[in-house]
Chains A and B, each alone.
Chain A
Amino acid sequence: MFNFLNEVKENIKIPKELGFESFNMINISGRLLYVEGHLGLVTLSKELISFKVKKGVVMVEGVDMILAELNENTIKICGTIKKVEQL
C-alpha cells in the first residue's frame, strides 16, 4: 500500500541504521497531529497528550485536544497544538 512517509524516506535515501523506522509524525497547521508508530498512550487530557515511541516518550501540549483516532499503530490528535516534544 502506498505510504507517503515511506516514499519520502526512500527518496532521501537515509540508511536504516540511523533509526528512521521508529515513528513518523506530521503536524498540519498546528490543528492536527498525525502519528504513525506509537507504542501506547501514556497521558490523556485536553491540555497534554503523551505516548510512547521506540526510544522514549512524545509529549504534545495544547488546548482542547482530543484524540480523533486511536488504533494499534496510529494516533490523530485534533485541537490547538502548542508544542510537540520528544523525551
Chain B
Amino acid sequence: MNVKNQTEFCIHTLNQEKLLNELSKTFTLFEINRLSKNETTFKCSYFEYKKIEKVLKTKEIEIKYIKHQGMASKISKIATSFGLIGAIVVFSVFYFLQSQFVWQYDVQGVDKLPAVEVVSFLKENFSNRKSEINTKNVEVALVDNFEEISFVSCMLKGQTLVVNIKEKLLPDEIYGDFKPIKSHKSGKITKIELISGTVKVKVGDIVRAGDVLVEPYTIDTSGVIKKVEAKAKIWADVYNEGSVDHYENFIEINRTGRVCEQNEITLFGLTIYSFKDEINFKMYETEYEDVDLIKNIFLPFKMHKTKIYELEEKVVQTKFEDVKEEYIEKAKTKALEKCENCDTIIEEFYTLRHLSGVTIVNYCIITQEEIGVYDVG
C-alpha cells in the first residue's frame, strides 16, 4: 500500500524541459517519466498539487489527468463531502437533543413491589428531561409514596434512570391473596393438610365443585377475625362419570346414491345461465359449491353448483345384550376423559338402567386427587 501523500500529473505540452525547470524552482518533482514527445507524467507532494495545477493552468498547459495517492487525499475528500458532513451534523444535533431526555427506567431490587408501579409513578411525577431531574428529589418522593421501600438510590446513566430499591421486610399477609380455596371437582374428602386459614370441611364430607374448602381468615381466642392467606392441601375421592344411551330401535338416515345437480353461471351476482334437474326425491339434502370459471377481475364468471342427494330412512333394531361390551367401553372412555393429571384410580364400576326401549350405561371411575384450588375469579 502506498502511504506517500503524492499527486500524479500527466501533462501534454511541447518544451517540457523548460516547464519542468520552472516548476522545480518552486516545487520538488518526483518520478518524472517522459512517455512520448509531448506527454510526461510526474509526481509532487499532495499538499502542493493545487499550486502546481494553478501554475499549469496559468501557462495554459493541457493536464490529461490528476491522480492522488495516500491517506491525505482520502481524508480531504471525506472532509469536503457535504452530504457526509450534513449527515454528521444532523446526527450530532439529533444525538445532542435525544441525550437531553430520559428514555428508559431501570428499576432494580424489587421483589414484591411491582416495578411497573414505580415506573408509572416516575413518569407521572417527574419530567423526562435530564436537566430537570434531581435524583435526590426522586429518592425522597419514592420513599414518601411507597411504604414498601426501605432504601432507594437513583442515578442517571446515559438515557436511563436507574432506581435501586431495597424493600422493607413486611409480613407476607400484607401481600396475601385473601381468597378462599374452592373445590374444583365433586367428591368425598379423604385427607386435609391445613397450612393457614380456616378449614370449612372435614374428612368424609361430600363436596360439590365450587364449594368453599378453606376460608382466608383465622379467628383468635378473643374472637377477632384476622385475614390470612388460605393455604391447604385437600384430597378427595372424586367420582368421574361417563354415560352412554342405547336405543333398541332408532331411525338411521343414509344417502341412496342418487344425485341431482342444479348449476348457475353468474356474472357480478346476476344469473346468466342456469341448469336445473327436476327433483323427485322424497327426502334429500343439498351441498353448495362456488367455482371461479375465469380467473380475472374484469369478467368474474362464477358457477354456483348445487348437488341434491336423495336420502332414505331405515329403522335399525339392536338388542342391548349384543352390543353391551361396546357401550360399556364407550362409557368408560368418557369417564376416563374426566380423569385429569394421571390421578390414582381407586375403584371403577358401571351401572345399567333399563327404561322403555332405552338402556343407560353409566361408568364411574373413582380417583383420589387434590381438589382445592385458589379462586382466581
Give me the interface of A with B, judged by CB distance under 8 Å.
40-46, 66-72
Contact = CB atoms under 8 A, between A and B. Distances in A.
B30 A69 contact: yes
Given A41-B21, A44-B40, A69 B29 contact: yes
Nearest to A67: B32
A40 B20 CA distance: 9
A71 B32 CA distance: 11
28 contacts: A40-B17, A40-B21, A41-B17, A41-B20, A41-B21, A42-B17, A44-B16, A44-B20, A44-B32, A44-B34, A44-B40, A45-B34, A66-B34, A67-B32, A67-B33, A68-B30, A68-B31, A69-B28, A69-B30, A70-B24, A70-B28, A70-B30, A70-B32, A70-B42, A71-B24, A71-B27, A72-B25, A72-B26
Given A45-B34, A70-B30, 10 more contacts: A40-B21, A46-B34, A66-B34, A67-B29, A67-B31, A68-B30, A68-B32, A69-B30, A71-B29, A72-B26
Contacts of A68: 30-32
A3 B34 CA distance: 31
A41 B33 CA distance: 14
A39 B42 CA distance: 20
A40 B24 CA distance: 9
Contacts of B31: 66-68
A46 B20 CA distance: 16
Interface of B: 16-17, 20-21, 24-34, 40, 42
Contacts of B28: 69-71
Chain A contact residues, majority secondary structure? strand
Contacts of B29: 67, 69-71
Contacts of B40: 44
Nearest to B21: A40
A45 B40 CA distance: 10
Contacts of A42: 17
Contacts of A44: 16-17, 20, 32, 34, 40
A36 to B, nearest CB: 13
Q: What are the 10 tightest A-B residue pairs by CB atom distance, in nearest-first order? A: A67-B32, A71-B28, A40-B21, A70-B29, A41-B17, A66-B33, A70-B24, A72-B25, A71-B24, A44-B34
